[in-house]
């Protein structure tokens, strides 16, 4: 673990990351000392910092710190947090602020190997995501909605929960982005009012462009999901998992999801 | 500063308070070694912990820690944070969790003394509060909305910013609760979809009941404010500040606000 470039696992109780969730983060997989798609994660981190007015550390600095971390721990789930740092008491952001940079690495995930092939069972969460265009898409530290929603399904047979907004549009999984395959088209939810736009989602969108598969980003009503040809969830940690069961509907074959998954996994190598 | 009962100003980078804003907090004033309205703050803390499924430390334990803190620092702004503590990687809350308890104390606020008498200038924030009934009213650590909204007015002539929801109902100040006086009635915004229900707001509601002044809790449309006889803001830190200026409207006399302020201040003694 590194805090502001030095080995350590502690931060100040006056850090705005703790006080207000005033920061952003990334989670990515490391294998054999290499972090997957780090440049894409850095782009997202920078975008999210700018959106919140947080000073984003230079790519070269973070790359060096990441390398230091991976020299000691070559495999696992890497977490990078950048907060707005410390300031005076109160909500007003310090100007200029000095960001806090935190690196952590955990054990590689222990999900069953066959989820990519066989798919997973998912449920709907009762919690509805609030609408906040100023924060939508950003992977920020205000994640109580994800915590409460995950508590709904984490002790059940489901492997992930789907989150809807107040108008029953399906937005994402609690820790993943959603894609629907319908009549040869890919459709993924609009994330301009809520949700997190992950790196793996961008990779699927990029795959679709390269393979000339039509892709729409738009609201997806809950009742559309049961009529989908395929559904799948993606994230930097899980990769791509097709959905095999959602309420009364079961899917057996996932030809498009399989194709995309194999291509994306191949690009990880 | 105390962390889990021991002197210190550091917490783990794996604390869910940092990772997800998964915790609640209180801010209160201490004078001459006595914390104002601590029993009311404890009630709120407990209510908020229960709402999020966080284990709330016993009142006796927190009171002892508060006393330890005030022995060293008898005056200032006390902040108490209770987080869900550490857990496995991921959003799922640990079960059972071990809460983290953090105490901090800062300098007493340095607001001009005459704000209670003369009132303040306020503006409307552009940011609209998102609607999330599961979190509404709770003083939790997901405070990016307050941070972004405060950044809108903190370098202007305004002393506070008013926050509205997506339907242009006025909900609160960025760090205070709002009351409107209209035709001998007190009206305060409904906080069932967004906003924070503070201790000082409860004290005003209680004052109204004791003094047989009619009080309504309901949605307040933005355009109602300009027709108000009086407007005032309250919090445990600011006490009670009347609003003297909001856009084109100016208020000169605040008879009801003054009456309530003097009564509440008297009960602080």
Phi, psi of A189 (to 5 degrees): -65, 140
**Calpha distance A212→A199 (Å, rounded):** 20
Q: How many CB pairs under 8 A join A and B?
A: 169
Confidence of residue A36 (pLDDT cuts 50, 70, 90): very high
Cβ under 8 Å to B: A residues 210-239: none
For position B97, what pLDDT does the model report? 78
Question: Residue B219 and residue B169: Cα distance in Å, rounded?
Answer: 6
pLDDT at B46: 98
Question: Quick check: B167 contacting A, CB < 8 Å?
Answer: no
pLDDT band for A97, please (50, 70, 90 cuts): confident
pLDDT at position A96 over 90 = no
Q: Is A9 on the interface with B (CB under 8 A)?
A: yes
Q: d(Cα B151, Cα B145) in Å, to the nearest integer?
A: 10
- Percentages helix, strand, coil for chain A (3-state, rounded to 5) are 30, 35, 35
pLDDT at residue A103 tops 90: yes
**For residue B209, pLDDT beyond 80:** yes
Residue B71 banded pLDDT, cuts 50, 70, 90: very high
What pairs with residue A232 in β-bridges?
A179, A242
What confidence score (pLDDT) does residue B210 get?
97
- Contact predicate B10/A10, CB 8 Å: yes
Helix (H, G, I), strand (E, B) or coil at A54: coil
Residue ranges of A 171-190 with Cβ closer than 8 A to chain B: 174-175
Check: CB of residue A116 under 8 Å from CB of residue A137: no
Cα A17–Cα A22–Cα A24 angle in degrees, nearest 5: 90
d(C-alpha B169, C-alpha B218), whole Å = 10
Judge: B22–A175 Cβ closer than 8 Å, yes or no.
Answer: no
- pLDDT of res. A95: 81
The two tokens of residue B100 are 């983290």
Per-residue confidence (pLDDT) for residue B96, from 0 to 100: 77
Q: What pLDDT, in 10s, does the model give residues B226-256? A: 999 999 999 999 999 999 999 999 999 999 9
Nearest in space to B197 (alpha carbons), one of B10, B12, B45: B45
Res A130: pLDDT: 98
Q: What is the mean pLDDT of residues B134-146?
A: 98
Dihedral, B251, B254, B260, B262 alpha carbons, nearest 10: 120
Mean pLDDT of B197-216: 98
- Closest-CA residue in chain A for B76? A89
- From B251's Cα to the closest Cα of chain A, the distance in A is 27
How does the average pLDDT of chain B come out, rounded? Answer: 97
Whether residue B152 is predicted with pLDDT greater than 80 in this model: the reply is yes
**Contact assignment for A140 to B141 by CB distance below 8 Å:** no
Q: Looking at residue B268, what is its pLDDT? A: 84
Instruction: State how far the alpha carbon of A17 is from the alpha carbons of A112, A181, A235, B7, in Å.
Output: 33, 38, 23, 21
Q: Which residue of A has its CA nearest to B23?
A: A144
CB atoms within 10 A of CB B216: 13
Task: Measure the CA–CA gap between B145 and A263, rounded to whole angstroms.
Answer: 39
pLDDT at B16 over 80: yes
B130 touches chain A (CB under 8 A): yes
For residue A73, count other CB atoms closer than 10 A to its CB.
Answer: 16
The per-residue pLDDT for B95 is: 81
- Stretch A75-85: mean pLDDT: 98
Contact B243, B116 (CB under 8 A): no
Within 8 A by CB and 6+ apart from A70, the residues are A30, A33, A34, A35, A78, A105
* pLDDT over 90, % of chain B: 96
- The owner of tokens 């305060």 is B188
Residue contact A130–B132, C-beta within 8 A: yes
Is A221's pLDDT higher than 90? yes
CB contact under 8 A, A91 and B22: no
pLDDT (tens digit per residue) in B166-189 = 999 999 999 999 999 999 999 999
Residues linked to residue A103 through DSSP beta bridges, in sequence order: A2, A80
How many Å lie between the alpha carbon of B23 and the closest alpha carbon of chain A? 9
Average pLDDT of chain A to the nearest whole number: 97
In this complex, is the C-beta atom of B165 within 8 Å of any C-beta atom belonging to chain A? no
Nearest residue of B to residue A155, measured between CA atoms: B92
Helix H, strand E, coil C: the string for chain B is: CEECCEECCEEECCEHHHHHCCEEEEEEEEECCEECCHHHHHHHHHHHHHHHCCCCCCHHHHHHHHHHHHHHCCCEEEEEEEECCECCCCCCCCCCCCCEEEEEEECCCCCCCCHHHHCEEEEEEEEEECCCCCCCECCECCCHHHHHHHHHHCCCCCCEEEEEECCCEEEEECCEEEEEEECCEEEEECCCCCCECCHHHHHHHHHHHHCCCCEEEECCEHHHHCCCCEEEEEECCCEEEEEEEECCEECCCCHHHHHHHHHHHHHHC
Give the three-state DSSP class for A141. Answer: coil
Mean pLDDT for B38-54 is 98
Mean pLDDT of A143-167: 97
Confidence check: pLDDT of B155 > 90: yes
The pLDDT confidence band at residue A257, using thresholds 50, 70 and 90, is very high
Q: Give pLDDT tens digits for B75-126.
A: 999 999 999 999 888 999 998 779 999 999 999 998 998 999 999 999 999 9
Query: Two tokens at B61?
Result: 């334990």
3-state secondary structure of A233: strand
Are B65 and B105 contacting, i.e. CB atoms less than 8 angstroms apart? Answer: no
Q: Are B124 and B45 in contact (CB under 8 A)?
A: no
């Amino acid at each position: 673990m590194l805090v502001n470039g030095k080995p350590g696992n502690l931060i100040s109780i006056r850090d705005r990351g703790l006080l207000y969730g005033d920061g952003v983060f990334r989670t990515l997989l490391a294998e054999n000392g290499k972090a997957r798609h780090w440049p894409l994660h850095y782009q997202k981190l920078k975008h999210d910092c700018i959106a919140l007015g947080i000073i984003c550390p230079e790519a070269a600095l973070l790359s060096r710190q990441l390398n230091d971390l991976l020299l000691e721990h070559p495999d696992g789930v890497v977490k990078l947090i950048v907060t707005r740092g410390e300031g005076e008491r109160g909500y007003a952001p310090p100007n200029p602020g000095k960001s806090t940079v935190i690196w952590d690495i955990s054990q590689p995930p222990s999900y069953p190997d066959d989820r990519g092939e066989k798919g997973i069972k998912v449920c709907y969460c009762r919690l509805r995501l609030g609408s906040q265009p100023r924060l939508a898409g950003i992977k920020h530290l205000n994640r109580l909605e994800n915590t409460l929603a995950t508590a709904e399904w984490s002790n059940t047979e489901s492997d992930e929960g789907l989150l809807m907004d107040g108008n029953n549009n399906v937005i994402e999984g609690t820790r993943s982005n959603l894609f629907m395959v319908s009549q040869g088209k890919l459709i993924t939810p609009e994330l301009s009012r809520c949700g997190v736009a992950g790196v793996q989602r961008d990779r699927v969108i990029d795959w679709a462009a390269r393979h000339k598969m039509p892709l729409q980003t738009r609201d997806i009503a809950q009742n559309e999901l049961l009529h989908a040809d395929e559904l799948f969830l993606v994230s930097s940690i899980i990769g791509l998992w097709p959905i095999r069961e959602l309420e009364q509907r079961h899917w057996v074959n996932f030809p498009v999801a399989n194709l995309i998954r194999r291509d994306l996994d191949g690009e990880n190598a």
